[in-house]
Amino acid sequence: MKTILMTGAAVGVGTHLRRELAGRYALRLSDLRPMKPLGRGETFVRGDIARLADMLRATKGVDAIVHLGGYSVEGSWPAIQRANIVGCYNVFEAARRNAVRRIVFASSNHAVGFYRRDQVIDHRVAPRPDSRYGVSKVFGEALASLYADKYGMQVMCLRIGNVNPEPIDKRRLSIWLSPRDLAQLVAIGIEHPAIRFEIAYGVSGNARSWYDNSNAARLGYCPRDDSERYAAEVLARERPGDARAELYQGGAFVHLEEVENPAAPRGKRKGRRT
């Protein structure tokens, strides 16, 4: 059984992915906060991705890394830089030094959020980030490309939409990713023998999708879920939003300056809506 390091495992996407991958891999979970209880096949190593020494310790002896850690919303530049720029570099560099060749990088739809909603885009479009957070994900994709080309690493970048058991609003009907479809994509990133450097969209097979996800299909992705089954209920409760947000795929990220970081420990969730 392969041992997989999952950074940022304590909240959000990590909680869904832990459940879906249980029993398939030995999971080494890493986060700033303690994680209890652990499931069967799980171990925990506390670590700050902004500290290279922590990442050297966390990555030692693993077969692959699923890098979810970082600042997960729009924030101040110092916060984004520390977690998503320095932190991302540390994960890749620690992997290189410890001879871990396989990484699944959690990029984001916000790397291309300034494309309009009436456009269908694929993995080959030029980046159009909608935020400092989106810029950090473009950086991560570029870093992944460098480490693949220069050091022979095998990296799959997933431009994740929104991971939830159900889509929660109209925008997410287009970008929803069910937990089991997420797990399928991550397993492809870990297992597919031909991956060198790939970009795919982390979305389910949504009828309303803004993405041509043929690159994921080429790698064997067959999504099991479609947000359309929830559409009537979601649209019935939808209310008009900001006109700029409604125009672009990135939604509110195109105009918000800083929001509360859901991954921060309680008492340190700084941020404000504008």
Q: DSSP letter at 121?
A: B
Q: In what order do the strands lie in the sheet with 197-202?
A: 42-46, 26-31, 3-7, 64-67, 102-108, 154-160, 197-202
Look at residue 11 in the predicted model and tell me its pLDDT: 87
Look at residue 258 in the predicted model and tell me its pLDDT: 84
pLDDT digit string (tens) for the chain, length 274 residues: 999 999 999 988 999 999 999 999 999 999 999 898 999 999 999 999 999 999 999 999 999 999 999 999 999 999 999 999 999 999 999 999 999 999 999 999 999 999 999 999 999 999 999 999 999 999 999 999 999 999 999 999 999 999 999 999 999 999 999 999 999 999 999 999 999 999 999 999 999 999 999 999 999 999 999 999 999 999 999 998 899 999 999 999 999 998 777 666 555 544 332 2
238: Cα separation from own chain's centroid: 26
Nearest to 7 by CA among 61, 39, 50: 50
Look at residue 262 in the predicted model and tell me its pLDDT: 67
Q: Out of 2.30.30.30, 3.40.50.720, 3.90.550.10, 3.40.50.970, which CATH number does the structure's domain 3-254 have?
A: 3.40.50.720
Look at residue 274 in the predicted model and tell me its pLDDT: 21
Active site residues: 133
Look at residue 265 in the predicted model and tell me its pLDDT: 55
Look at residue 271 in the predicted model and tell me its pLDDT: 38
Name the residue ranges covered by the structural domains of the chain.
3-254
Q: How many CA atoms lie within 13 A of 216 on its CB side?
A: 25
